[in-house]
Structure 1
Amino acid sequence: MTNQQAREALRALFDAAVAAASPALCVPPHLPPPPKGRTIVIGAGKAAAAMAAAVEAHWDGPLDGLVVTRYGHGIACRRILVVEAAHPVADEAGMAATAAMMDMLRGLTADDLVLCLLSGGGSALLAAPAPGLTLADKQEITRALLRSGAPIDEINCVRKHLSAVKGGRLAQMAAPARMVTLAISDVPGDDVSVIASGPTTPDHTTRMMALAILDRRQITIPDHVRAWLEDVRSETPKQVPPSETVIVARPRDALEAAAREARRRGLSPVVLGDAIEGEACVVAAEQAGLALEVAAGRFAISAPCVLLSGGETTVTVRGRGRGGRNAEYLLALAVALQGEAGIHALAADTDGIDGSEHNAGALLSPDSLARATALGLNPAWRLADNDGFGVFEALDDLVITGPTLTNVNDFRAILIDAPPSSEHLA
């Protein structure tokens, strides 16, 4: 298989994974029947606008509402207002949209339906600081958590306890109306209390856990924020009014779609898991080791094959370079593989945006290290500087899709085309 053929195959697997989580396909089958009263649609996340458009296209009856999505991820809807705001750190637009959403939930009756559309990114986009806190408080704490390399469950635990809507509080506001939540999962384990920080589900985390996370990560917080977290009023609801939550798409669905495409192309798929977490560099080193074992013929499955995985890695930022967690993973994979023949890879975020850059991810070929070196780049140094984006941009190996309008977290594929040689088997 040539480099170009391998790249085309990897991109086809990624495209299949993203298509499997398209809101236009996964939302309509799960819509509830129209109520006797009003239908209010609310929501937040990178897929929220596309989910709202899917609801409008298949809803029989009146409805109105508001959803908030990331800048650049909007779709014009006829009856549901779509607001764009900042991610991963909240801004004034997100706070205003959330306030308007809260107003829509006032005065509802038991005959009304609140249809809540949630997807990854909703935690930042639903911005309503708890009493006595400011948007600036939440922004600085979020930035510090992101820099620290904290996993998403820790970040969301803190966010919930600094919020007026997360961790089940939004469900309390909607009562006595019926609440139905449709969610596209982007979290390991598909925990509905973690998706968008679980605004419509009971929360199993506590304010003391939030304080412990901040202390363990050595994040300094203002005195009034610490006082709020030490106040019993900051505790999230452990019970909420009866409601229904349905996960309409999940990381496992995406990996299964990629596996089907792999088989169609004559590649044996191995799904390593859809909930892999940890430092991007560490995950890359582990998966590089497995890929080398396969290439050497010392694994239960032989080439040609592809190792598939999902989940959400983290990056503890120590350098000044550019790059999301997928670029970091892929550069670490390159360094670990050292140009091993016949091993190609793709790592990308299914929402189309890797971190804060404009790419979804990048592609890796056996010659990537050599080409980087020829350009005067030192991959190991760039990795230490967290500059995966800079390396793959220079190689013209970025995967650029634009916003995909869905989000089932990261997608990683390592294609192994090298058959075991007699030397390897000796």
Structure 2
Amino acid sequence: MDTILLEQMFRTAVAQAQPALAIAQNLPERPKGRTIVIGAGKASAQMAHAFEQAWDGPITGLVVTRYGYGQACEHIEIVEAAHPVPDEAGFLAARRIMETVAGLGPDDLVVALISGGGSSLLPAPAPGLMLDDEQAINRALLASGAPISVMNLIRNQFSAIKGGRLAAMCAPARVATLVVSDVPGDDPAVVASGPTIPLAGDRALARQYAALYRLDLPTRAQALLAGEDNLAPLASAPDLARNTVRTIASAALSLEAAGALARDWGVEAAILSDSIEGESRDVAQVHAALAKEVAARNRPFSKPVVLLSGGETTVTLRGNGRGGRNAEFLLALAIAIDGTQGITALAADTDGIDGSQDNAGACVDGTTATRLRQAGIDPLAALANNDAYSAFEAIGDLLITGPTGTNVNDFRAILIR
């Protein structure tokens, strides 16, 4: 019963973030000239389809999404590429997008459909770098445990398209950016490393973060980072003055929708935050302590209650197992609530894929750790090896939805009876 409620809440959160309604409510003003649609991200194909359905006028364009996330469109070409490490398909798509926006006039409109995942789907190495450098940079960042804002600041230093550079290429055309946000705090410049939005932070700050997180960068990237700034346009640049940005879907809106569903089921909902960052296993410890406090002492919330949170946690790779950040969060949570009655939890990525596996997330309760041991799996050893996927697969507790068509990042719900 509790698992059913949590899964329904997750699906409600995902439905709230679907592009179709949000796109129709946020259409830009029609131009005198051409309308060109570009985009990148895990939700970009669905955004493109929704835009085609809502737009009254001729359009052409190209967007790139993750393999398996495509959506048939009539006028906008959909290209699929690799995520989270870029590949040749994404490299060629980025080049074609840059060619598409070249030579536009002041009466033309570029509609940029941006969602999470676009950083790796639009690889365009800065001068002096190659695609294999950008791939190595992404691998180093993914293994570092750095928050997404730091990762995208560093990516910006090595890119010819991120940090508003693509918007500068569109000038003097007007750019209208529609964003499905997957980042804590919903800063649109951080989503997909802001290809059409200037990103705050310079090379000196990127160097500090690279040292802090001990990034193992390729030689050419190290040389570039040590050199002069790879200048990106400023938000005050005259060429960008007519551009607009709208965030059309976010974790905050999705959590509110999930909370409303819980109340319909007679369970109070407490939204802790929509912008939680940090190491997945550490975030799990804090959530577990709060859940156990509610279970034992009815504070700071009264039972029954569901604790909701969003954002994007990270995983510092220590082992060679399988599993994304939500599965790792849940395995650490299961260990922390081992033997505690009345606590059930779900954590999942709203795009339907947690990391690089086929699951959106998983579900746990106070019996999970015991059931893992009965299946011959040591929960602590699995956590140490970053092998949460294998653990939950063994006991049938994975949540598998397939690609959802949107992406507003992590969804966490802990129900205490």
Tell me if structure 1 keeps the 8 A contact 2:20–2:50. yes
Residue number in structure 1 paired with 2:230: 234
Matches within 5 A, 1:43-82: 43-82=39-78
1:382-413, Cα deviation, whole Å (9 max, x unpaired): 11111111111011010000000100000000
Residue number in structure 2 paired with 1:131: 127
Tell me if structure 1 keeps the 8 A contact 2:153–2:199. no
Query: Is 2:191 aligned against 1:181?
Result: no
Residue number in structure 1 paired with 2:24: 28
Choose which of 133, 140, 143 in structure 2 pairs with 1:144.
140
Q: 1:222 to 1:10 in 2, by over 3 A?
A: closer
Residue number in structure 1 paired with 2:347: 347
Consecutive aligned runs of 4 or more in structure 1 exceeding 6 Å deviation: none
1:52-73, Cα deviation, whole Å (9 max, x unpaired): 0000001101000000000000
Return the letter of the residue paired with 1:275. S
Return the letter of the residue paired with 2:6. L
How far apart are 1:24 and its partner, in Å?
A: 1.0
Tell me if structure 2 keeps the 8 A contact 1:206–1:236. no
The DSSP-based 3-state class of the residue aligned with 1:294 is helix
Tell me if structure 1 keeps the 8 A contact 2:326–2:347. yes
Return the letter of the residue paired with 2:392. F
Tell me if structure 1 keeps the 8 A contact 2:323–2:355. yes
Choose which of 5, 10, 17 in structure 2 pairs with 1:9.
5
Residue number in structure 2 paired with 1:163: 159
Identity %: 55
How far apart are 1:128 and its partner, in Å?
A: 0.7
The DSSP-based 3-state class of the residue aligned with 1:27 is helix
Residue number in structure 2 paired with 1:325: 325
CA distance in 2, matches of 1:351, 1:177: 32
Residue number in structure 2 paired with 1:293: 293
Matches within 5 A, 1:26-425: 26-239=22-235, 240=237, 241-242=240-241, 243-417=243-417
CA distance in 2, matches of 1:407, 1:254: 11
**Structure 2 alignment gaps of length 5 or more:** none
CA distance in 2, matches of 1:387, 1:406: 26
1:81-122, Cα deviation, whole Å (9 max, x unpaired): 000000011110001011111111111111100000000001
Tell me if structure 2 keeps the 8 A contact 1:113–1:180. yes
How far apart are 1:273 and its partner, in Å?
A: 0.3
How far apart are 1:296 and its partner, in Å?
A: 1.2
Return the letter of the residue paired with 1:175. A
The DSSP-based 3-state class of the residue aligned with 1:407 is coil
CA distance in 2, matches of 1:107, 1:320: 48
1:313-358, Cα deviation, whole Å (9 max, x unpaired): 1111101111100000000000001121110000000000000000
The DSSP-based 3-state class of the residue aligned with 2:347 is strand
The DSSP-based 3-state class of the residue aligned with 1:220 is coil
Tell me if structure 1 keeps the 8 A contact 2:136–2:218. no
Deviates more, 1:146-155 or 1:283-292: 146-155
How far apart are 1:230 and its partner, in Å?
A: 3.4
Return the letter of the residue paired with 1:351. D
The DSSP-based 3-state class of the residue aligned with 2:277 is strand
Tell me if structure 2 keeps the 8 A contact 1:281–1:333. yes
Tell me if structure 2 keeps the 8 A contact 1:168–1:199. yes
Residue number in structure 2 paired with 1:420: none
Q: 1:367 to 1:233 in 2, by over 3 A?
A: closer
How far apart are 1:304 and its partner, in Å?
A: 1.2
Return the letter of the residue paired with 1:308. L
Tell me if structure 1 keeps the 8 A contact 2:349–2:411. yes
CA distance in 2, matches of 1:309, 1:300: 16
Tell me if structure 1 keeps the 8 A contact 2:202–2:229. no
1:146-183, Cα deviation, whole Å (9 max, x unpaired): 11211111111111110101001011000000110000
CA distance in 1, matches of 2:234, 2:30: 29
Q: 1:386 to 1:245 in 2, by over 3 A?
A: same
**Structure 1 alignment gaps of length 5 or more:** 418-426
How far apart are 1:297 and its partner, in Å?
A: 2.6
The TM-score, its normalising length taken from structure 2, stands at 0.97
How far apart are 1:280 and its partner, in Å?
A: 0.6
CA distance in 2, matches of 1:170, 1:140: 23
Return the letter of the residue paired with 2:106. A
The DSSP-based 3-state class of the residue aligned with 2:414 is strand
CA distance in 1, matches of 2:225, 2:312: 27
The TM-score, its normalising length taken from structure 1, stands at 0.95
Tell me if structure 1 keeps the 8 A contact 2:338–2:370. no
CA-based RMSD of the aligned residues comes to: 1.1
How far apart are 1:32 and its partner, in Å?
A: 1.2
How far apart are 1:233 and its partner, in Å?
A: 5.0
How far apart are 1:25 and its partner, in Å?
A: 1.7
Aligned pair count?
413
Return the letter of the residue paired with 1:70. R
Return the letter of the residue paired with 2:295. A
